Amino acid sequence: MRITAVSAVCADYEVTNGTGEAADVTVLFSRTGASGGAVDNVTKTVEGLAPGAVEKGRVELGGTASGVKVLRVRSVPSAEASRPNGPCPASGVLVSADEGDAAMGLRVVGLRLRNCGTAEVALNGYPELQVLDVERRPVDGVQVVHGGARIASGTGADDPPRAFTLKPGEAAGSTLVWRNTTEGGAPVNAPYVRVRATPGAAPVTVTPELDLGTTGRLGVGAWVRDDAGPPARSMTTLPGNAALAGAAVDEQHGTVGGQIGAGFQEFGGGDGGGHDDDVVPAPVIAAARARVRPWIHCVASMEQTGRSL
C-alpha cells in the first residue's frame, strides 16, 4: 500500500495484494489538516484483488483536509471475507461485525448473521471463534469464554443458548466482549477473528481489532434472533438537474454522483432522490454543484497523468 500523488483536492494511492490468494483489502486513511492533525478518517476497500494485482484509487481532500496518512491496512482472503451488502455466498449466510462500542477499557462488538439463501438455517449455541494476529496466524493464550459475565456485567452477552430457525431473510446476532486491561506481560493485539456460525460451517473472517491487553480472554454471546430484519442499503438517486453523473450510486463509494447527492442532503434538498427540475430550489442545485466541482477537478487532473478511473 502506498500513496503515489497528493494534490490540493485529492490523493492517489495503490494497493497491492502480496499474498498467494485473492484478497479483500481495507485501508483506513486519516485526512489531515495544515498542522498535520487529524480531520477525519476515510475507509476504502478493494474486493477480490487477485494475487500480485495492483488497484488504484483516490481519497478526496479539500476544505480543512489538505493531507492524508495511512493508519492501517487489513487483508482478508476473499473466500472468507465479510461482505454484509455483497452477494449471497454458497453457504447461504452473511456474517458481519459492527463498529462496536468502547468505554472505560471495555469493548463490545456485535456479530450479525443473515440468512440470505433459500433454505432455513438452524442455530443453537455460540459462534465458534479463532483469534488471528496481523498475519492471520492463530493467537495462542487467548481463552474464548461463553457469555460476558466473566468480562463485565450488563454487556448483553449472557442470554442462554436457545435453538431456533432462521427463514430466508431473517437474521440473528451475537456479541463479542473483552477488556484491554494491561498488567504484567505483553499486551495482545489481534485484528482478526475467524467466525464459524455453527460447527463445520464455512468460516468468515471479521476485523474487530481486538486489543485484549494482558487479560487473555474474549467473551462471546449465544446467537439470539434479531427481529430488526436485514439492514437497508443506502442509495442515492440523482436529480434530473444534476446531469454530471449517472442515475444511482452508492454514497459511500466516493463517486461524483455521491458528492452531488451529499450536496443535496447538506443544503436542504432531502435525500437527493426523485426531484424534478422545477421543484428543486436553485440554492440547493448550486450547493450540490459547488460540492462536486473540486471532485471533478481531481478526476480531470488524474486523467491528465494517465491514471485509470
What HEC string does 184-205 produce? Answer: CCCCEEECEEEEECCCCCCCEE
Diameter over CA atoms, the chain: 68
d(CA 228, CA 116): 15
Cell triple for residue 195?
A: 467466525
Please report how many Cα atoms fall inside a 13 Å half-sphere around the Cα of residue 159, on the Cβ side: 16
CA–CA separation, 291 vs 295, rounded Å?
A: 8
What pLDDT, on the 0 to 100 scale, is given for residue 46? 97
Quote the CA–CA distance of 140 and 188 in Å, as a whole number: 10
Looking at the chain, how many residues does it have? Answer: 309
Q: Which residue has the cell 435525500?
A: 271
How far apart CA 165 and CA 39 sit, in angstroms, is: 45
Instruction: Write out residues in the chain with pLDDT < 70, as ranges.
Output: 228-309
Give residue 102's pLDDT.
Answer: 87
H or E element in which residue 177 lies? strand 171-179
C-alpha separations of 106 from 116, 153, 173, 176, 180 in Å: 32, 11, 19, 11, 7
Q: Does domain 93-226 have CATH number 3.90.1720?
A: no
How many Å apart are CA 192 and CA 21, to the nearest integer? Answer: 17
